[in-house]
């Protein structure tokens, strides 16, 4: 009987491990789509869950010949529950982005679609959505409770400011929209707080200040290089301390 019990436990554990591996593979394939080919500028994105799977989300979608819609988000919590909700976000964004007029409307419609479910599940998500027009270089954007992306220019680094409440707490929300024109060589880093809150062995956080300073030093590189240098810098800083939170970023550069 004991042997049968052990065999059953082993079978269940190996089955669970296999299913977790499958879940990770599915999530990584949903998150690692290649950015669209752009005739100007470059885009690069990545996500690194703290556990096997995570609740961060990023995506980009060409909505017409000139505009690409970008989104980055963070579901409350970590692991399997957050990952399940992340797939809801993706479905909602992919459906909504194809017909919503702009980033503000995209977030409004996503909140309408997800609010009841997230509230019932006692969860929420933060999202930042932006449209980049590759012909005019205009970036329009709206925020649903997400940490503001960083606007990187020759003169310094500043936050992309737009106010809006997280998705899943209040129905019938509207999201104010901001805009700016990206000059040649300027960029925007969209990210989740797993970067700034990554801890080293002494318990210090990577912090916004370190991220600003790093971006100042590496801003001349391509999007792909900037993402890779931020990851390298995080790895050096944390020095093998286990990752606390999911890490996600998208770098857009004109």
When the beta carbons of 41 and 54 are compared against another protein, the nearer one is 54
CB 224 within 8 A of CB 216: no
CB of 205 to another protein, least distance (A): 9
Q: Which of 47, 106, 123, 223 binds another protein (CB under 8 A)?
A: 123
Rounded to 5 degrees, φ, ψ at 96 are -70, -40
Angle CA 101–175–192, to nearest 5: 100
Residues 251 and 227: beta-carbon distance below 8 Å: yes
Report the nearest approach of another protein to the CB of residue 165 (Å): 3
Q: Which two three-digit tokens encode residue 158?
A: 């500043």
Minimum distance, C-beta of residue 113 to another protein, in the bound complex (Å): 18
Of the two residues 34 and 122, which places its CB atom closer to another protein in the complex?
122
Q: For residue 58, which of 99, 90, 102 has the smallest C-alpha distance?
A: 90
Residues 190-249 that bind another protein (CB under 8 A): 193, 197, 245
Number of residues that bind another protein (CB under 8 A): 22
- Distance set, CA 185 to CA 19, 90, 121, 153, 177 (Å): 44, 30, 43, 8, 24
Residues in CB range of 85: below 8 A, 6 or more apart: 55, 75, 76, 118, 121, 123, 125
| Closer residue to another protein, CB minimum distance, 122 or 220 | 122
Stretch that binds another protein, among 22-30, 95-103, 144-152, 213-221 (CB under 8 A): 144-152
Encode burial over 136-164: b for 16+ CB neighbours within 10 A, e otherwise. Answer: ebebbbbbbbbbbbbbbeeeebeebebeb
**Please, which residue, 49 or 164, has the CB nearer to another protein?**
164
Work out which of 106, 126, 248, 254 binds another protein, going by CB under 8 A.
Answer: 126
Smallest separation, CB 75 to another protein (Å): 8
| Site track 146-185 with another protein (rule: CB under 8 A), x = hit | xxx--------------xxxx--xx---------------
If one asks whether residue 48 binds another protein (CB under 8 A), the answer comes out as: no
**First CA to last CA across the chain, in angstroms?**
66
Restricting to residues 59-118, name those near another protein by CB under 8 A. 74-78
Q: Would you tell me which residues interact with another protein (CB under 8 A)?
A: 74-78, 122-124, 126, 145-148, 163-166, 169-170, 193, 197, 245
């Amino acid at each position: 009987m004991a042997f049968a019990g052990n065999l059953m436990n082993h079978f269940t554990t190996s089955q669970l491990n296999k299913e977790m591996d499958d879940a990770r593979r599915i999530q990584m394939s949903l998150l690692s789509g290649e950015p669209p080919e752009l005739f100007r500028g470059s885009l690069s994105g990545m996500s690194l869950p703290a556990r096997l799977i995570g609740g961060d989300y990023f995506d980009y979608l060409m909505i017409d010949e000139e505009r690409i819609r970008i989104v980055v988000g963070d579901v409350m919590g970590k692991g399997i529950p957050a990952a399940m909700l992340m797939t809801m976000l993706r479905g909602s964004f992919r459906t909504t982005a194809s017909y919503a007029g702009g980033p503000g409307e995209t977030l409004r419609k996503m909140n309408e679609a997800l609010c009841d479910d997230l509230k019932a599940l006692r969860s929420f998500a933060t999202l930042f959505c932006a449209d980049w027009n590759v012909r005019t270089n205009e970036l329009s954007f709206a925020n649903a409770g997400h940490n503001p992306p960083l606007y990187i220019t020759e003169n310094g680094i500043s936050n992309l400011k737009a106010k809006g409440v997280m998705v899943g707490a209040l129905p019938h929300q509207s999201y104010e929209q901001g805009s700016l024109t990206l000059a040649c060589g300027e960029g925007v880093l969209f990210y989740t707080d797993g970067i700034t809150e990554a801890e080293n062995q002494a318990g210090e956080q990577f912090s916004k200040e370190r991220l600003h300073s790093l971006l100042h030093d590496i801003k001349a590189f391509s999007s792909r290089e900037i993402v890779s240098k931020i990851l390298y810098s995080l790895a050096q800083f944390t020095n093998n301390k286990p990752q606390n939170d999911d890490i996600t970023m998208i770098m857009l550069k004109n």
